[in-house]
């Protein structure tokens, strides 16, 4: 079996360690390469990629991801600054993308992609309890205690995000080190979504021994 890979990829993951609690983010699946030892990110070059059709959204997301990585000690690079983007004819050319990554000296790539957005509607019916009508005294106390409680309708939005971490080594096949699918409930905006997924991912990576302790 090959020796464990020691990659800066950890950096990409660590970058997500923004600091807020991520109570609304859970994981539906996680995977880590079994032959990869815990890694640390300091000083590594990590490229952040947000896969999506809206160029404005992609750039905003990659800028934030890159800034987070840099804050964790890595050299974070927003993918759009070095990779072919539409309407460039090389946009979907993996060889062109890999050449750009090699030129930038990237040690790893972290990608995020929204894979689903669903709404859940929860209906809570109104409730009441029959009062006691046997006399004014009993009715008075019982009636006030059994007032009708109105129902409610609540709509929650669940956004599922796929996060992948690839190690890049010159003249060698790229290696997938980490993969996960998370579900975040009611993110306020794109920035909030990225922060929550990042924080939850870092925590999960640490729990699974993928990230080295500081």
Note whether residue 170 is domain-resident.
yes
Note whether residue 95 is domain-resident.
yes
Question: Is the pLDDT reported for residue 89 higher than 60?
Answer: yes
C-alpha span between 39 and 8 (Å, rounded): 6
Specify the pTM: 0.75
Question: Is the pLDDT reported for residue 10 higher than 50?
Answer: no
Note whether residue 108 is domain-resident.
yes
Instruction: Identify the pLDDT of residue 2.
Output: 38
CATH of residue 99: 3.40.50
Q: Which two tokens stand for residue 96?
A: 């062109």
Note whether residue 4 is domain-resident.
no
Note whether residue 143 is domain-resident.
no
Domain tally, the chain? 1
Mean pLDDT estimate for the chain: 81
pLDDT digits (tens, 9 = 90+) for 196-213: 898 888 888 888 888 776
Mean pLDDT of the region 26-55:
88
Q: How many CB atoms lie within 10 A of CB 143?
A: 14
Instruction: Identify the pLDDT of residue 214.
Output: 61
C-alpha span between 202 and 182 (Å, rounded): 12
Mean pLDDT of the region 129-140:
79
Domain extent at residue 171 = 9-119+158-207
Instruction: Identify the pLDDT of residue 30.
Output: 95
Question: CB burial class (10 A; 0-12, 13-18, 19+) of residue 86?
Answer: exposed
């Amino acid at each position: 079996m090959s020796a464990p890979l020691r990659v800066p990829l950890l950096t990409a993951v660590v970058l997500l360690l923004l600091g807020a609690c991520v109570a609304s983010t859970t994981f539906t699946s996680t995977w880590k390469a079994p032959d990869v030892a815990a890694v640390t990110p300091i000083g590594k070059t990590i490229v952040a990629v947000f896969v999506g059709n809206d160029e404005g959204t992609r750039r905003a997301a990659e800028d934030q991801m890159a800034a987070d990585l840099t804050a964790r000690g890595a050299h974070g690079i927003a993918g759009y600054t070095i990779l072919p983007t539409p309407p460039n004819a090389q946009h979907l050319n993996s060889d062109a993308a890999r050449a750009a990554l090699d030129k930038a000296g990237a040690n790893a790539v972290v990608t995020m992609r929204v894979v689903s957005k669903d709404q859940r509607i929860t209906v809570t019916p109104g409730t009441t309890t029959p009062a006691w009508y046997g006399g004014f005294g009993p009715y008075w106390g019982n009636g006030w205690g059994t007032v009708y409680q109105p129902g409610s309708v609540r709509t929650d939005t669940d956004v599922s995000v796929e996060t992948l971490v690839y190690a890049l080594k010159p003249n060698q096949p790229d290696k997938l080190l980490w993969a996960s699918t998370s579900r975040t409930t009611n993110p306020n905006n794109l920035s909030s979504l990225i922060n929550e997924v990042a924080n939850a991912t870092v925590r999960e990576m640490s729990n699974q021994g993928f990230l080295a302790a500081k």
